[in-house]
Structure 1
Amino acid sequence: MGDNANNAQVPSSEQLLARLSGGGEDEELAMIVRGSQAAEREEDAAAPAAGPGDLRLRNRERPADVPSLGWNKFLRTLGLKPKPNAAELAAADLGRARSLIRLSTWPRSVGILVANPKGGVGKTPLSLLTAGVLANIRGGGTIVLEVSDDPGALAVRAEGPAAAGVAELLRDMDEIRGAGQLAGYIAQQTSYAAVIGTAGDREALTGEDVKRMAALTDTYYPVRVMDSGNQPSSDAFHGALEVTDVLVIPVLDALPELNGAMQLLRHLHKLGGRAADLARSAIIVRMHDGRTEDPEVRSYADQLVETAGVGAVVHVPFDPHIAQRTTLSFGQLKPATTAAITQLTAVIVSQLNAALRKAE
């Protein structure tokens, strides 16, 4: 970021969106977005040196070595020490992301909300895949809940038919006394994530419904990912905000989806307090669904997310398995997609770590 003089010349995300769509400038929102800043990141205090008896701890937390690949691997067998190539550096970076995901711990269960008022941007796939990475690397312990006011597509995109879901869970909640009973409402994934969607018809969820489901599942799962609907003003969405630690906003390089993200950020800033904090620390995920992306819109999208005042921006490449809009299986993703989702999940975990440290 530049100095104040330079910042004053940079158009806000809302100004850019208004310019591209031909509309007028929302000055109130422009001031909000200009004034919002990235989430505060606190540095961990230096840990004391491990003693002789802490060998297991030292080995567990030691960063992964840069892997040897291809020609460099051969040279190292000869005793030479060539500089890591791009593939080796990428592999080491991925290893560090996986270590962060695996080793992070929290004093309570944590909540991740995936949201955008526009449909078709990838909220449900992103909910399933980030939960899949968390469960796959951490050995389970992650559940995905449908928290949309009306029934969504979570049960359709998840693996395995579920005889029961959100409606049945709410009906029977007072009778559930253990993990075995809760398992009857869950669709278990090959990634080791658990999913509770909508098995049939149901009434609209309320904010209290969402908070009750979160309280119950938090007893058995350290990580809760929530797949939300398309109404940020709904009671269910506000209930989800109350049990959220990190907000994830998927977007496509298209005006309606970008406008939806800006609408959501505006709504959260107007709510103020903890909701505004979630907006400032939010992670925007640039999804790519295989459709043609207009270069001009893509350029504006670059500027929009850069000036939106959020915590991070991550890209997820096009993957035909996601684009099929059918059952998602974590193991069928392309390696590049798995790597991108893993890096995204590491950013989410980093934000969780910062959010909970800040709350202490």
Structure 2
Amino acid sequence: MAPERNENEGENADNGVLATTDGTETTGIGIVEGATAQVEVTLPTAFDEEDDFDDDVVRGEDVTLVQLEQPPAERDEVRGEAPATTAVPVASVSTASAEPAPKTAAATKASSSVASTSATAPAASDASRAELDHHERVRPRTSEITLQSRRLGDFEVDRESSDLLTADRLLDPAHVVRPEPEGAWRHLVYTLSGRRINLGDSKRARARKQLDDRITAPLSGGARFVPVLSRKGGVGKTTVTTLLGMALADAREDRIIAVDANPDRGTLAERVGRTSGKTVRDLVRARGDVHGFNDISQIVARDHTRLDVLASDADPHVSEAFSDADYRDVAEVAAHFYSVVLTDTGTGIVHSVMEATLEHADELVIVAGLSIDEARLASETLTWLESNGYAERVRSAVVVLNTSRPGAALVRADELDAHFRSRVRAVVRLPYDPHIASGSAISFRDLQPETRDAARELAAIVVEGLRASSVAA
């Protein structure tokens, strides 16, 4: 149905003013050529001061603004740049739906008619211009700039970091100075050639350095306890403890301590040759006052290889022997300051300290002599340990065949070696050394090379066992 015209239709035919806009959806709007069509538009009132609109964000509502295209002259008039009359664009604010309503053909024509409104329309008020400026400010932005923090290397590809300055990259192999070779004639050639010919280390020097690497391998975790056991006295248990401790302390950078846990009277401190006058009993009494290494260093004795030794109680007036509770107290303190704790146990394996010693043990060292009865007692020691819940420790143990007498042994050492290798992880032979047989204090540097190498081999095997046990745990 065609829209209803104004009562003064005949008089204002040239103006083409519609009385109402309800029927603007029809397509039969007649517009006289050369005339202008006017549509009554109700602009929204000024926004309430409590509305949630701000200059950039409209909270909770969707705003749809429709700005009609205007000639440049008319846009200048809307902004107040010219006092002439202006046309009013249509703006619709929708809060009910985020999707804009579809435009009909009639609405499109009406928009075109409004865009061509005559300049004879009354001038917009100051309030209308303010509202139009506000609509332009809240117009949604077509693009936004995203700021990101980037690493320097993301946009500076050619810039290198300091970690790329490695020795392999910077040092010229032709000018790298190799260490002086070890070995008599190799060092002579190196010297006579003006340090230009370096044949490298001798075979013996390379073996020694490889042994050093095995001994100095890092140990992760807390302190490790290695007791040295024997069911028979006089087979060299204290000697083996001393040599093992010296070999470890001489090569490693961490702290090593040897504890004399003989419940009667041990001679470990005498084999070191340096005593502090304090014993394990003093450490038990002062354990509550030990707060740093300086406190414990006043109780232990230190060897020239940096081996610390905690002597046993040698006072004959003491009525109570060193017990398993005392050993646990000593072990608790030693574990705070040392990486490896060696324990020189007493004769036999059924005395009071042995239970606490085996509880802390990470690896066992069994000492056997080169005689029938000494070898048999060592084998029985392994059987007793297997029968009392330490079978796993036996399989990872080390047996030391100590030669305490000069000359050829009466038993065949190869047969003993084969027997113990069938039960434990490794067997080490310790040769006879007159420096040890004298019974005086042991100086590690004064030992025969064969004895020193055997002690170092024992230390390397013990470290490898400790590393293997930490991985398995």
Q: Secondary structure at the match of 1:118?
A: coil
In 2 relative to 1, CA 286–52 (structure 1 residues): closer, same or farther, beyond 3 Å? farther
Contact 2:401 2:430 in 1 (8 A): yes
Q: 1:237 is matched by which residue type in structure 2?
A: M
**From 400, 409, 427, the counterpart of 1:285:** 400
Contact 1:245 1:355 in 2 (8 A): yes
Q: 2:334 is matched by which residue type in structure 1?
A: T
Q: 1:257 is matched by which residue type in structure 2?
A: E
1:225 shift after superposition: 0.8
Q: 1:321 is matched by which residue type in structure 2?
A: H
Q: Secondary structure at the match of 1:339?
A: helix
Q: Which residue of 1 aligns with 2:381?
A: 264
1:292 shift after superposition: 4.0
1:144 shift after superposition: 0.5
Contiguous gaps of at least 5 residues in structure 1: 1-50, 57-63
1:318 shift after superposition: 1.4
Q: Which residue of 2 aligns with 1:251?
A: 368
Q: 1:213 is matched by which residue type in structure 2?
A: V
Bigger Rg, structure 1 or 2: 2
Contact 1:65 1:92 in 2 (8 A): no
Alignment of 1:65-144 (within 5 A): 69-71=183-185, 88-139=202-253, 141-144=255-258
**Aligned mates of 2:470, 2:405 — CA distance in 1:** 37
Q: 1:278 is matched by which residue type in structure 2?
A: R
**Aligned mates of 1:206, 1:251 — CA distance in 2:** 25
Q: Which residue of 1 aligns with 2:419?
A: 304
Q: Which residue of 2 aligns with 1:188?
A: 302
Query: How many residues are aligned here?
Result: 296
1:287 shift after superposition: 1.5
**Aligned mates of 1:243, 1:204 — CA distance in 2:** 20
**From 327, 346, 350, the counterpart of 2:441:** 327
Contact 1:140 1:192 in 2 (8 A): no
1:95 shift after superposition: 0.9
1:312 shift after superposition: 0.4
Q: Which residue of 2 aligns with 1:220?
A: 337
**Aligned mates of 2:179, 2:378 — CA distance in 1:** 39
Bigger shift: residues 296-305 or 129-138? 296-305
Alignment of 1:204-219 (within 5 A): 204-219=321-336
Q: 1:358 is matched by which residue type in structure 2?
A: A
Bigger shift: residues 335-344 or 215-224? 335-344
Contact 2:406 2:432 in 1 (8 A): no
**Aligned mates of 1:244, 1:231 — CA distance in 2:** 16
In 2 relative to 1, CA 72–178 (structure 1 residues): closer, same or farther, beyond 3 Å? closer
1:258 shift after superposition: 0.7
Q: Which residue of 1 aligns with 2:276?
A: 162
Deviations, residues 110-136 of structure 1 (Å, cap 9, x unaligned) = 111111111111111211121112111
Deviations, residues 204-233 of structure 1 (Å, cap 9, x unaligned) = 222222122111011011111111111212
Contact 1:248 1:285 in 2 (8 A): yes
1:161 shift after superposition: 2.6
Deviations, residues 161-180 of structure 1 (Å, cap 9, x unaligned) = 33110112112222222212
Q: Secondary structure at the match of 2:399?
A: strand
Q: Secondary structure at the match of 2:202?
A: helix
After superposition, the CA RMSD in angstroms is 2.7
Contact 1:114 1:123 in 2 (8 A): yes
In 2 relative to 1, CA 241–75 (structure 1 residues): closer, same or farther, beyond 3 Å? same
Contact 2:363 2:396 in 1 (8 A): yes
**Aligned mates of 2:411, 2:180 — CA distance in 1:** 39
Q: Secondary structure at the match of 2:286?
A: helix
Contact 1:112 1:246 in 2 (8 A): yes
In 2 relative to 1, CA 335–293 (structure 1 residues): closer, same or farther, beyond 3 Å? closer
TM-score (norm 1): 0.74
Alignment of 1:41-80 (within 5 A): 69-71=183-185
Q: 1:289 is matched by which residue type in structure 2?
A: S
Deviations, residues 62-98 of structure 1 (Å, cap 9, x unaligned) = xx9995534456678889998x9xx933331221121
In 2 relative to 1, CA 66–279 (structure 1 residues): closer, same or farther, beyond 3 Å? farther
**From 330, 338, 347, the counterpart of 2:461:** 347
In 2 relative to 1, CA 66–289 (structure 1 residues): closer, same or farther, beyond 3 Å? farther
**Aligned mates of 2:286, 2:392 — CA distance in 1:** 34
1:53 shift after superposition: 6.8
Bigger shift: residues 204-213 or 73-82? 73-82
Contact 2:256 2:308 in 1 (8 A): yes
Q: 1:270 is matched by which residue type in structure 2?
A: S
In 2 relative to 1, CA 207–199 (structure 1 residues): closer, same or farther, beyond 3 Å? closer
In 2 relative to 1, CA 115–66 (structure 1 residues): closer, same or farther, beyond 3 Å? farther
In 2 relative to 1, CA 302–129 (structure 1 residues): closer, same or farther, beyond 3 Å? closer
Deviations, residues 2-50 of structure 1 (Å, cap 9, x unaligned) = xxxxxxxxxxxxxxxxxxxxxxxxxxxxxxxxxxxxxxxxxxxxxxxxx
Q: 2:208 is matched by which residue type in structure 1?
A: L
**Aligned mates of 1:227, 1:93 — CA distance in 2:** 30
**Aligned mates of 1:200, 1:295 — CA distance in 2:** 36
- Greater fraction helix: 1
Q: Secondary structure at the match of 1:246?
A: coil
**Aligned mates of 1:263, 1:54 — CA distance in 2:** 57
Contiguous gaps of at least 5 residues in structure 2: 1-162, 169-177
